[in-house]
Amino acid sequence: MSEGLEEPRLRLEGEPDEERREDITELEPEREEQAAQALVREGGPEEGSGEPGGWPEEESEAEQEPPAEEDELPRLREPEHAAGQLRIPDGYGVIEGEPSGGRRSVGVVVARFNGEITRELLARALEELERAGVGREAVTVVPVPGAFELPLAAMALAKTRRYSCIVALGAVIRGETPHFDYVASEAASGLQLAGIETGVPVAFGVLTVENESQARERLEKGAEAARTALEMADVFSQLRAAAGAAPG
């Protein structure tokens, strides 16, 4: 071979030359785009076909995020009690109390803490007792420092056996520390224990709220607690009478 001449390169059969390879490379994106458009027109590849160029695996924004109204629904829904009244089928024996104050003596324990709220609770409770027929001479009011002391006072009053029922009034408003949780929990469990151990009904008229505004919206709980105490006192009275009349 003469010096300076390149040795000719042998090409395998079917191998494209450099110019042909560049043409193929330039056509590939165009073919992929045409294939994608065809898939769109045909509704996409069949599920599980494994064909390339199918729908992307990522979910669309509409699938990832719920509709605006569903996302906002929990925040818009206000807490509420179930509507309707209790109905007892016919044919069953029923002992049901009445919030009547005839011949009833009532002890009222009230917390001085958050006094602007508790004095309103007390006023409504006393008004309700008077409407129910409980005379002022039959009501004893025991102020205590705070809601935490309510169970102690309720227990002491109940153990005297001079009172048909006890009304406990207080207001526990959430602050920046866990103090709220401890006081509210102990007040609730302690008042329940006082009623269980003594057999004297103790009505829970303690507000456990997030702020003063919520407390003021619930001042009628004072009257509600008074009615509850009288109703339970009547139930207990009927139960004792039924037990005494039962044959030995």
**How many beta carbons lie within 10 A of that of residue 66, not counting itself?**
11
Q: For residue 238, what are the contacts with CB-CB under 8 A and spacing of at least 6?
A: 95, 97
Q: Is 225 helix (H, G, I), strand (E, B) or coil?
A: helix
Catalytic residues: 179
Q: How far apart are CA 159 and CA 139, in angstroms?
A: 16
* Residue that is written with structure tokens 């002992």 in the block: 95
In terms of Cα–Cα distance, which of 96, 236, 115 is closest to 166?
236
The angle that helices 179-198 and 150-159 make with each other, rounded to 10 degrees, is: 10
- CB contact at 8 A, 32 and 54: no
Residue whose token pair is 């785009």: 33
Of the CA atoms within 13 Å of residue 232, those in its CB half-sphere come to: 20
